């Protein structure tokens, strides 16, 4: 597109784009700081970015944000373990029994896009207002992608590998553990990554909504106390945690992916 | 007539003997039976798993209640406005990033990594900025649906056939002409797909915001049913909501003719 194009010498340097991206954020923060300090934006609605940065220390010392972080991570890991075990088991079952797969796969795909998080009051009634309700919420929302990707991975195993297993007279269980599962692992991990991302989103969201648990509760708590700088800082911290979580999972996925 | 009769008979026999259909029916019946047995077993607190008959009656009562339609209208309006603002801004940003690789390299990573963060945590900020009324719910819905639409449109734009772009350039088309005559028509599928995703996120964002702080809308009704422990009504509302979400999703998909992608 000619009219929104960038001069060639600028576009060619890969660092220029990064400088522009990060530079824009710095300019935005400086502009926000200036506008708030000059009174163009009310300090009672948006605290100055410098105040938000300073309040991080308070969150660590007084609000025990690190302990809350590990609490949320613990919930995520519990949900992740359940997602992995149940999702892979159900996926293998569906992949092995074609009739069951044909009957259920579209249902699982429909469940993957269902707004499960809206059923959080239901989970509170069933499990009570505790960590289990939050973990199960994460589990339910993260399960469908793992099932779907396990089916995809196992069905996509190269015929020659399956035939090698047959030629060695492997039993059904051996075939799964020694051939199908290792071959499908990279695809299964894509499902686990998606499942964990969905689980994290729903776990933090549910913590915030039911005012219980780790980081989500901290945001709700600070907002109720009208601690503006603290609320913004906690939100920034959750964004940072989500990004680190997302990037780490992507790196593991890249490491698992076979080299073509 | 005889032929038609024979054809119908053959089709009926095929569908009756379809093992997938039989399996589905068996699974649904098994699930419903387990549910009903659990409801009558007394193992759980009363109404935590209510009888299917109670849930059915609650669905009927809900659908014949005028108040429900008023609240449904409020939520639908909030989601509609959120989808409009978030969708249009997402399309605009997506077009810009899709058209310019340099800008995409500068800003798309931020969109990519901010996309999967839990948007509900921004609700306290939205309340401070827009108040406790429908505006804060619309804002959260807008924020939720902006990211998937923008990313989908940007990715879709990069997949446009280069020949189409060259044709537009050789005709010396202006930016507006390129957007409306080349880019948008060529990107119908990615845009509709993005809007479909955006709808799902806007729905979740808006309804969660309603459950947190609201005095009208479906989210408010759900949390009200929870507060009064009216479980059959809560199940009924969730069932109706899931069905409505599924229907709207399917309708948006049909609008974009997404099924044609598979065939071609």
Which residue does chain A place closest to B218, by CA atoms?
A118
Q: Which residues of A touch B122 (CB under 8 A)?
A: 235
Answer whether A33's CB lies under 8 Å from A41's CB: no
pLDDT at A232 over 70: yes
Indicate the angle between helix axes B123-130 and B134-158, nearest 10 degrees. 120
Structural domain boundaries, residue B92: 60-263
The reply to whether B89 and B15 lie within a common domain is no
The reply to whether B111 and B231 lie within a common domain is yes
At A2 the pLDDT is 43
The reply to whether B76 and B144 lie within a common domain is yes
For residues A234-240, average pLDDT = 93
The reply to whether B102 and B217 lie within a common domain is yes
Answer whether B148's CB lies under 8 Å from B197's CB: yes
Q: Which residue has the tokens 């209208």?
A: B73
At B5 the pLDDT is 45
DSSP result, A48-91: -HHHHHHHHHHHHHTS-HHHHHHHHHHHHHHHHHHHHHHHHHHH
Going by pLDDT thresholds of 50, 70 and 90, the confidence category of residue B260 is low
CATH number for the domain including B146?
A: 1.10.3720.10
The reply to whether B165 and B239 lie within a common domain is yes
Give a yes or no: residue B86 inside a domain: yes
Q: From CA B78, how far away is CA B88, in angstroms rounded?
A: 15
Going by pLDDT thresholds of 50, 70 and 90, the confidence category of residue B3 is very low
Instruction: For residue A222, give both structure tokens.
Output: 């600070």
The reply to whether B33 and B136 lie within a common domain is no
The reply to whether B92 and B187 lie within a common domain is yes
At A106 the pLDDT is 83
At B130 the pLDDT is 92
- Summarised one tens digit per residue, pLDDT across range B197-236 is 888 889 989 999 998 888 899 999 998 988 888 888 989 9
Give a yes or no: residue B94 inside a domain: yes
The reply to whether B26 and B106 lie within a common domain is no
Question: Domain A59-256 is in which class?
Answer: mainly alpha
Long-range contact list for B170-178, CB < 8 A, 24+ apart?
A: B174/A3, B175/A1, B175/A3, B175/A4, B178/A1
Q: Which residues of A touch B226 (CB under 8 A)?
A: 121-122, 124-125
- Summarised one tens digit per residue, pLDDT across range B12-58 is 545 556 888 898 899 999 999 998 888 888 777 777 888 899 999 99
- Residue B174 has, within 13 A of its CA and on its CB side, a CA count of 2
The reply to whether B16 and B112 lie within a common domain is no
Q: Which residue has the tokens 């020949």?
A: B163
* Number of domains, chain B: 2
Q: From CA B162, how far away is CA B165, in angstroms rounded?
A: 5
B118-155 residues labelled b (16+ CB within 10 A) or e (exposed): bbbbbbbbbbbeeeeebebbbbbbbbbbbbbbbbbbbb
Give a yes or no: residue B52 inside a domain: no
The reply to whether B117 and B229 lie within a common domain is yes
User: What Cα–Cα distance (Å) separates residue A6 from each residue in A11, A89, B103?
Assistant: 6, 51, 8
The reply to whether B123 and B82 lie within a common domain is yes
| Chain region(s) in chain A for CATH 1.10.3720.10 | 59-256
- Residue B253 has, within 13 A of its CA and on its CB side, a CA count of 13
Q: Do A118 and B211 touch (CB under 8 A)?
A: yes
The reply to whether B163 and B72 lie within a common domain is yes
Q: Which residues of A touch B208 (CB under 8 A)?
A: 117-118, 205, 209
């Amino acid at each position: 597109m000619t009219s929104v194009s960038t001069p060639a010498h600028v576009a060619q340097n890969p660092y220029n784009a990064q400088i522009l991206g990060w530079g824009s954020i710095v300019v935005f923060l400086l502009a926000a700081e200036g506008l708030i300090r000059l009174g163009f934006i009310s300090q009672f609605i948006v605290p100055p970015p410098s105040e938000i940065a300073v309040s991080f220390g308070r969150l660590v010392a007084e609000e025990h944000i690190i302990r809350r972080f590990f609490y949320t991570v613990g919930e995520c890991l519990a949900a992740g373990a359940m997602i992995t075990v149940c999702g892979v088991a159900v996926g293998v079952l569906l992949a092995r029994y074609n009739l069951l797969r044909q009957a259920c796969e579209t249902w699982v795909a429909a469940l993957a896009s269902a707004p499960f998080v809206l059923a959080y009051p239901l989970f509170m009634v069933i499990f009570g207002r505790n960590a289990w309700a939050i973990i199960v919420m994460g589990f339910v929302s993260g399960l469908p992608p793992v099932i779907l990707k396990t089916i995809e991975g196992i069905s996509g195993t190269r015929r020659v590998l399956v035939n090698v297993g047959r030629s060695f007279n492997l039993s059904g269980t051996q075939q799964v553990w020694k051939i199908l599962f290792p071959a499908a692992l990279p695809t299964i991990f894509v499902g686990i990554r998606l499942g964990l991302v969905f689980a994290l989103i729903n776990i933090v969201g549910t913590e915030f909504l039911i005012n219980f648990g780790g980081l989500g509760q901290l945001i709700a708590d600070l907002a109720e106390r009208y601690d503006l700088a603290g609320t913004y800082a906690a939100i920034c911290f959750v964004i940072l945690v989500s990004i680190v979580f997302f990037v780490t999972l992507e790196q593991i996925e890249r490491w698992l992916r076979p080299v073509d | 007539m005889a032929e038609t009769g024979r054809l119908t008979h053959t089709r009926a026999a095929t569908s009756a003997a379809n093992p997938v259909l039989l399996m589905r029916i068996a699974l649904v019946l098994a699930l419903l039976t387990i549910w009903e047995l659990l409801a009558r077993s007394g193992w759980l607190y009363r109404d935590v798993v209510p009888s299917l008959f109670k849930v059915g009656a609650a669905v009927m009562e809900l659908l014949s209640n005028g108040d429900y339609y008023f609240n449904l209208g409020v939520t639908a309006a909030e989601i509609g406005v959120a989808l409009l603002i978030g969708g249009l801004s997402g399309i605009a940003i997506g077009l810009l990033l899709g058209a310019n690789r340099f800008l995409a390299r500068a800003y798309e990573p931020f969109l990519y990594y901010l996309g999967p963060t839990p948007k509900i945590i921004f609700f306290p900020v939205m309340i401070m900025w827009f108040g406790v009324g429908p505006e804060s719910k619309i804002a959260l819905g807008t924020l939720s649906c902006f990211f998937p639409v923008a990313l989908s449109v940007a990715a879709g734009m990069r997949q446009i056939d280069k020949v189409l772009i060259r044709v537009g350039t050789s005709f010396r088309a202006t930016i507006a002409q390129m957007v409306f005559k080349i880019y948008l028509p060529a990107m119908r599928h990615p845009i509709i797909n993005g809007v479909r995703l955006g709808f799902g996120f806007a729905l979740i964002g808006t309804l969660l915001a309603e459950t947190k702080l609201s005095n009208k809308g479906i989210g408010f009704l759900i949390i009200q049913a929870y507060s009064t422990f009216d479980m059959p009504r809560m199940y009924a509302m969730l069932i109706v909501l899931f069905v409505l979400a599924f229907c709207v999703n399917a309708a948006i998909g049909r609008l974009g003719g997404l099924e044609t992608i598979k065939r071609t």
